[in-house]
Structure 1
Amino acid sequence: MYVKSILDEKGRNVVTGGPQLTVRQAAVYLHENHIGAIVIVDRNDRIAGILTERDIVAAVARNGAECLEKPISSIMWGNVHRCGEAQSVEDIMDMMSKLRARHIPVEKDGRLVGIISIGDVVKAHMRAIKHEAEAIKAYIAS
């Protein structure tokens, strides 16, 4: 299975924001959308950064509540690891494991086209295992 098939199934909507958002506004977006990361994009939908719920917790732990009024550009990750639609689920699982990342933005032709979460990868992997088990059972039964 590939990233493209996961996005085709789950959709390509990504909650995004600009670097001028405050940390508090980003936290509200995360909460209201029931997500763990917001992708920061520039005017051309190019990935400029990523901010996760863990980043917000770490910023509050380091700097106190006053960090909530700072722009997300002050705490976001600017060096964003990303993938393409043609990458396999196995590649993404390996990437997430090595990077200890729960969210990987997907880009095509330099523009954001989706996001893959660890939950998406686990679901896809479980479906593949189930499909393989069913195929083996059908083969044995025939």
Structure 2
Amino acid sequence: MNIREILASKHSRQIYSIGPDRLIHEAVAMMTEHDIGSLVVMEDGKMVGLLTDRCVVRGLSKTGCNLCSTLVGEVMFSDPAVGHPDDPIDQARRLMIERHTNHLPIADENGLVGIISFYDVAKTVLSETEFENKLLKGYIKNWPES
């Protein structure tokens, strides 16, 4: 199974973005409104970073909880891990674990195509495992007697 299949199963393929010169409180409002944990940071049509809920918490700690004057570009991940739609799910999971991130932008040769969360990966792996278990139980149940 690959990342493309996760993207296809998501109920929304909307990519929410914000500029690096916007204020953190604007980003938090957008993330809250759309019930999401990350925003792709875009500048001149290119991804320049990723703002996650973890970035916001880290930024609050660093700035003494000042949401009104802190810019997105000051607290975003400026070099986020990026996956490709054809990457296997295990590779995406490994990359997210290695980079300590819960969100992974997905891009192909034409640019950004989506974003997946660790939740999306876990849900897909669980569904796949449940399906395999069902097949194995059916196989064992119908095992020929010796």
Q: With the length of structure 2 as denominator, give the TM-score of the two structures.
A: 0.89
Q: 3-state SS of the aligned residue for 1:51?
A: strand
Q: Please give the alpha-carbon distance, in whole angstroms, between the structure 2 residues aligned to 1:138 and 1:69.
A: 60
Which residue of the partner structure matches residue 14 of structure 1? 15
Q: With the length of structure 1 as denominator, give the TM-score of the two structures.
A: 0.91
Q: How many residues align?
A: 141
* Structure 1 vs Structure 2 CA RMSD: 1.4
For 1:126, the aligned partner's letter is L
CA contact (8 A) 2:58 2:75 kept: no
Q: Deviations over 1:78-119 (max 9, x none)?
A: 111100001111111111111111000001115111011010
Which residue of the partner structure matches residue 113 of structure 1? 113
Q: Deviations over 1:45-74 (max 9, x none)?
A: x32101111111111112123353232111
Structure exhibiting the larger radius of gyration computed from Cα positions: 2
Name which structure has the greater RCO, CA cutoff 8 Å, separation 6+. 1
CA contact (8 A) 1:60 1:68 kept: no
Structure having the higher helix fraction is 1
Segments of structure 1 that go 5 or more residues without pairing to the other structure are none
Q: 3-state SS of the aligned residue for 2:106?
A: strand
Segments of structure 2 that go 5 or more residues without pairing to the other structure are none
